[in-house]
Amino acid sequence: MKTKLWEKENNVTPHWLLEFTAGNDKLLDIELAEFDVLGSIAHAEMLAKVGLITFEEYSFLKAELNAILIAIKNNEFVIEDGVEDVHSQVEILLTRKLGDVGKKIHTARSRNDQVLTDIKLYTVSEIKKTISLVNELFRLLISKSEEHKTVLIPGYTHLQAAMPSSFGLWFGAYAESLCDDMEMIIAAYNIANKNPLGSGAGYGSSLPIDRSITTELLKFDGMNYNVVYAQMTRGKSEKTTSMAIATLAGTLSKMAMDICLYNSQNFGFISFPDSLTTGSSIMPHKKNPDVFELVRAKCNRLQALPNELTLLINNLPSGYHRDLQLTKEILFPAFKEIQACLKATVKMLEEIKINKTAINDEKYKFIFSVEAVNQLVLDGMSFRDAYQKVGAGITSNTFEFNGDIKHTHQGSINNLCNDEITKRFEKLSAKV
Give DSSP secondary structure letters for 272-318.
--GGGSB--SS-TT--B-HHHHHHHHHHHHHTTHHHHHHHHHTT--S
Q: Answer yes or no: is pLDDT of 8 > 90.
A: no
Q: Which of 183-187, 262-266, 401-405 has the highest mean pLDDT?
A: 183-187
Distance CA 235, CA 221 (A): 19
Distance CA 351, CA 353 (A): 6
Domains with residue ranges and CATH for the chain: 15-106 (1.10.275.10), 111-207+220-360 (1.20.200.10)
Which residue among 15, 158, 285, 409 is the active-site one? 158
Taking alpha carbons only, the member of 413, 415, 290, 286 closest to residue 359 is 413
Q: Answer yes or no: is pLDDT of 283 > 90.
A: no
Taking CA atoms, 28 is separated from 12, 87, 145, 328, in Å, by 25, 12, 40, 7
Distance CA 229, CA 116 (A): 12
Provide the pLDDT for residue 147.
97
Name the strand (E) or helix (H) holding 194.
strand 194-195
Quick count: other Cβ atoms within 10 Å of Cβ 11? Answer: 9
Residues 383/136, Cβ–Cβ less than 8 Å: no
SS3 for 300? helix
Provide the pLDDT for residue 305.
96
Q: What is the chain's Cα-based Rg? A: 29
The answer to whether residue 106 is catalytic is no
Query: Under 8 Å CB-to-CB from 388, ≥6 apart: which residues?
Result: none
Cβ-count burial 65-75 (b if 16+ within 10 Å, e if not): beebbeebeee
Q: Answer yes or no: is pLDDT of 342 > 70.
A: yes
**DSSP symbol at 278:** B
Mean pLDDT in residue range 24-28: 75
**DSSP symbol at 368:** G
Distance CA 404, CA 14 (A): 78
Mean pLDDT in residue range 235-252: 97
Provide the pLDDT for residue 333.
95
Strand partners of residue 160: 157
Q: Answer yes or no: is pLDDT of 206 > 60.
A: yes
Task: Give the Cα-Cα-Cα angle 111, 117, 118 (nearest 5 degrees).
Answer: 90
Residues 213/302, Cβ–Cβ less than 8 Å: no
Distance CA 178, CA 135 (A): 9
More confident of the two residues 322 and 119: 119
Distance CA 270, CA 211 (A): 56
Distance CA 33, CA 86 (A): 6
- Quick one: 185 exposed, middle or buried, by C-beta within 10 A (0-12, 13-18, 19+)? buried
**Helical spans, DSSP H, in 148-264:** 167-192, 211-217, 227-263
Distance CA 98, CA 67 (A): 13
**Helical spans, DSSP H, in 14-54:** 15-22, 25-29, 33-49
More confident of the two residues 112 and 283: 112
Which residue among 132, 212, 280, 382 is the active-site one? 280
Q: Answer yes or no: is pLDDT of 258 > 90.
A: yes
User: pLDDT grade, residue 293 (50/70/90)?
Assistant: very high
Dihedral angle at the C-alpha atoms of 84, 90, 96, 100, nearest 10 degrees?
-100
- Quick one: 16 exposed, middle or buried, by C-beta within 10 A (0-12, 13-18, 19+)? exposed
**DSSP symbol at 384:** H
SS3 for 42? helix
Residues 378/385, Cβ–Cβ less than 8 Å: no
**DSSP symbol at 162:** E
Cβ-count burial 367-398 (b if 16+ within 10 Å, e if not): bbbbbbbebbeeeeeeeeebbeebeebeeeee
Cβ-count burial 131-142 (b if 16+ within 10 Å, e if not): bebbbebbebbb
Biggest alpha carbon distance in the chain? 95
Mean pLDDT in residue range 230-248: 96
**Structure confidence by residue, pLDDT tens digits, 386-422:** 999 999 999 999 998 877 888 999 999 999 999 999 9
Start-to-end CA distance of the chain, whole Å, equals 43
Q: Answer yes or no: is pLDDT of 237 > 60.
A: yes
**DSSP symbol at 281:** S
The answer to whether residue 205 is catalytic is no
Beta strands 270-271 and 152-157 are unpaired
